[in-house]
Structure 1
Amino acid sequence: MSELINNREQIKIENYERQQILKEIILELHEGKSVDEVKERFQQAIEKISVEEISHLEHTLMKEEGIPVEEIQRLCSVHTNVFKGSIEEIHGVDALKTVKGHPVHTFLLENKLINQFVNFTLSLHKDRYIKEQKHINKEKLLNDLTKLLEIDKHYSRKENLLFPYLERYGIFGPTKVMWGVDDNIRAEIKSAISALKDGADKEVSERIDFIISEVNEMIYKEENILLPMALEKLTEDEWVKIEREGHVIGYTFIEEPETWHPERVDLQTNVFLKEGTIQLETGILDIEQIDLMMNHLPVDITFIDENDVVRFFSHGKERIFHRTKSVIGRTVQNCHPPKSAHIVNALLDDFKSGEKDTEDFWLHFKDKYVYVRYFAVRNEQGEYMGTLEFTQNIKGIQEIKGEKRLMS
């Protein structure tokens, strides 16, 4: 037992020492040393590096060394070049190259076509335009750059579907860095289009060379760092959710992939649902989160079901019309004075019959200007399921003038 403990302690020490060496190498790059200088030290000190260590390294540099994420983005391509060829082989990516519909397969397929497009089509038309200065070459190049803007869909799926799951596992550094580089690539493509339209040939050539280089580097980072790391962390259920949402954003250079159906006993089984959590169509929240979220909205919400029974009301700090918990379970008609019951019934009759879907009222109440909205709630079959009351003090909103684009 003591020998096992000693071995574990030795592994911890070795891992710590590796991280320190890696951090020192990146800081040397940050201070201006050349890639060749640090690469030689890296190769002497460390033979292989895992994607986990790269993730931890970027997180440490931002948190402990105080290097801003923008600077990490600048160094990203440099230190990837240092580590290239030394990253541990992750067989999971290769294994999924043939699993059609899996998000990794889709990312890889897009990368293959993106790689071909920037290195052959875009590069060819750029060279011809610069050398021959023909209008037809300019049009082809302009079409190429415009088409390359489709890369936004590839990057957006990565940023908005994959990154949130990685962040659940505490992986923030690589996601922030990569998102920043993605934004730079998007901006450079748009700038190259503008320069081409303005006839700034030298700028066009330089920007396109930069785009090709950065896109190729991003492909490498995705396939050798990001996707292997995601395969280590994410469960099959999470990959299913990513795949099911892909069509909402769209795809780059490919049609919508066929639906991925993993081999499993029950697709409805969700191992993440713990007691006290609720799975919604667009997310998973626990009861406390739902309660806090509802009570922090700057509006009052009340919901009655299809039988006119009050089922819920939000309880924010400044309710406009006060509610007590005693109304829960009572019919909405019994919560209003008898003289106004006919108005309530008329509204509900219109909602239930389908004659109306909304009804709005506005009135002055004390020092507030109150906007009250009612919405008929219907299921996918169009059946009436209840009514949502939405009440808001719009006095402050009406006083808004001009614009406010930044925080102050």
Structure 2
Amino acid sequence: MREFLPDVDNVKLQAAFEIKKAYEDGELSLAAAKAELKNRVKVLHPYEVALIEQELKPEVEDECRKEDIQGMIALFEDVLDRTRPTLPLNHPILNYYRENDVMRDLLKQVEDLQQYPAIKNQWLEIYDHIVRWRLHLQRKQNQLYPVLEKKGFTRPTTTMWTLDDFIKDEISAAYNLLKKADVTSLNGGNGELSLMSEADETAFIKLQPTLVADILDLIQKEETVLYPTSLALISSQEFDAMRQGDFEIGFANITPEPLSTPWEDGLQAGGVGAGVGTEGQDGLGTGLRTGRPSPNGVATSQAAAEQSSNPNSAKVPGVTSNALASEIAALLGKYGYQSPEATDSQQELNVTNGKLTLEQINLIFQHMPVDFSYVDENEIVKFYNDSAHRVFPRSSNVIGRDVKNCHPRKSVHIVEEIISKFRSGEQDQAEFWINKPDIFIYILYTAVRDRDGRFRGVLEMMQDCTHIRSLTDSQTLLTWAAPKDEQGSQSDAAGISMKSDASSTHGKAVQPAAPAESDSTKLAGSNAPAAERIEADRTGGEVKITPETFLKDLLAVDPELKAYLIELNPKFRALNTPLARIMLPKARVQDMSERTGIPLSELIGKLEAFFVRHKQ
């Protein structure tokens, strides 16, 4: 962790740790501890607090929940820099701050509303937004923590993750209680205004002060230490790479800058937590952060610094660094030396049975109907296949991580048991399945062993078997599930006879069966009244769309919309997963906008334009 930070004063860190411990143990009063800090520490950056937690403080069970953030702020208030950084509009950390700002407003509404008799619909309006904050926590766990872990800052993964999950459970418990509550209508049974039963109301209201306090506590821990430390440890290029995964997971109650917005390379006001940038570097009071941050808190360009300090680094006219690198690579290749990066994707590689290019290998994995993940013998996640139909989304940030850090603490013991029994040879497989209405997911873990029987890792295979389980009898004739679209190679191809003992065509072509309904069509219901209204509204190819229009109804009008949406935004790839069966019946255009970050008016315009292009 230290190698990614400015030079650290170990004496100062040790002093801060000792004073904090003495205060917590009751050996120093608050006033005496603050005086000691002013005298011995003087200034403390958030990343230094993180370093104390990482290196000097032993980890304890539920550490993040037990940490008194208010007490720490009161203790360090005279020496700790808590300035909120000014960041580019498309910066991942800014999105976390914005989500927290919205959550604070929601929690104020909770505190106000709990003073009055509980009206279910009023609470639902607030909680429909509060539950979305779980996306904030999910994104943090799958995007931010893995990068910090690679930098040596593992405390968020091992401690804050537990608090994240605890709060997610609290939110879910309150929301579920609210949704299941018995309703007494005040308006003739139309449900427009309803009260919860007395018992449910009491239980629900009792949860609110604790939930508000816990969320505010987590927000302060994020903004006091986690986010400033992230800005100190993570490079601009890494933040840029993080944005794609952020959009795939989604955002909570905010509309972020579009993914297409150009990345403002390295702009970070205040650098690594100094709070104040150096004027004149880029006209915004911020430094370009492409190398190691400078000790004064303002990041500098490492490349520029190296060039300015090296008199022999002047550019050669007509020769770029890329051209020089290409010439060197060509020269090395001539004599049989080749870097891994220079491997030709079309070069055939010897596999166990046959030869395949790297491109072919990747294409095969991408088109597998099964999701694969591979963890090596050192328990490091090395691979997953990025297919369009993944059962559960994955982020590339899991690559290179300890597999135990990819799971909540409450399930780590299961991961450890599987690996232990596989490693010892006691077991070779472990299977799980998820059986819910309209969906069946099968999960199989297999021990990977080489020819000598040595343990080489674990292969996870996951498949949506819902369709497979629905099959009956036998099908031995080729039957197209659905016609290709206009860009496809076939639309009305004749069926091809596949002879079997059960049936024979005697050389005659078999007419294809009627196209099967796609999942989205089944869910939408082509005869749904809403879909009929949308179809009836088409005038000259136009479709009237509002924020309340359901996606299932739009898909019922034109199933090709699904492919267009996936091309429009990667987040819509979820439409190709089994989770679509759960999402589609409830997803509105408003929800689509919030989920993807596409402004509502822009999304409606794109949808209307799609139907104009595809008018019949």
Q: Give the TM-score category using the shorter length.
A: 0.5 to 0.7
* Closer, same or farther: CA 397–46 of 1 in aligned 2, 3 Å: closer
CA distance in 2, matches of 1:43, 1:189: 36
Question: What is residue 81 of structure 2 aligned with on the other side?
Answer: 89
Residue 161 of structure 1 deviates from its aligned partner by: 0.8
- Give the TM-score taking structure 2 as reference length: 0.38
Report the CA distance shift for 1:87/1:252 in structure 2 as closer, same or farther (over 3 A).
farther
Q: Write the distance in 1 (CA, Å) between the matches of 2:153 and 2:127.
A: 33
1:176 aligned residue? 158
Shift of 1:170: 0.7
Task: Say whether residues 1:46 and 2:37 are aligned partners.
Answer: yes
Which position in structure 2 is the counterpart of 1:114? Answer: 103
8 Å contact 1:100–1:258 — kept in the other structure? no
Assess, with a 3 A threshold, how the Cα gap between structure 1 residues 145 and 231 changes in structure 2: closer, same or farther.
Answer: same
Distance 1:68 1:206 in 2: 29
Contact 1:38 1:82 in 2 (8 A): no
Equivalences for residues 189-228 of structure 1 within 5 A: 189-196=171-178, 197=181, 199-228=199-228
Residue 55 of structure 1 contacts residue 174 of structure 1 at CA under 8 Å; is this kept in 2?
no
1:71 to 55, 63, 66: 63
1:125 maps to 2:128 = no
| Superposition deviation, residue 329 in structure 1 | 8.9
Counterpart-to-counterpart distance in 2, 1:207 and 1:156: 22
Q: Which residue of 2 aligns with 1:390?
A: none
2 CA distance for matches of 1:183 and 1:104?
A: 20
Q: In the alignment, is residue 311 of structure 1 matched against residue 299 of structure 2?
A: no
1:253 and 1:238, CA in 2 relative to 1: closer, same or farther beyond 3 A? same
Structure 1: unaligned runs, 5 residues or longer = 1-7, 276-285, 288-304, 314-321, 331-347, 360-374, 379-395
Whole-Å Cα distance in 2 between the matches of residues 49 and 189 of structure 1?
34
Residues 192 and 207 in structure 1, CA contact (< 8 A), matched pair in contact too: yes
- TM-aligned CA distance change 1:161 to 1:329, over 3 Å: closer
Identical columns (%): 17
Given the superposition, is the C-alpha separation of residues 402 and 210 from structure 1 closer, same or farther in structure 2, using an over 3 Å criterion? closer
Q: Is the 2:237–2:265 Cα contact (8 Å) retained in structure 1?
A: no
Matched to 2:34, the amino acid is Q
Deviation, structure 1 residue 19: 2.2
CA contact (8 A) 1:49 1:87 kept: yes
1:86 and 1:230, CA in 2 relative to 1: closer, same or farther beyond 3 A?
Answer: farther
Return the match for 1:58 from 32, 53, 59: 53
Separation (CA, whole Å) in 1 of partners of 2:31 and 2:429: 65
Backbone CA RMSD of aligned residues: 4.5
Q: How many residues align?
A: 276
Question: Does structure 2 retain, via aligned residues, the 8 Å contact 1:310–1:329?
Answer: yes
Alignment of 1:260-299 (within 5 A): 260-264=261-265
Query: Aligned AA for 1:188?
Result: E
Answering whether residue 134 of structure 2 is matched by residue 148 of structure 1, we say no
Give the letter aligned to residue 62 of structure 2.
E
Q: Which residue in 2 is equivalent to 1:104?
A: 93
Q: Please say if 1:17 is aligned against 2:15.
A: yes
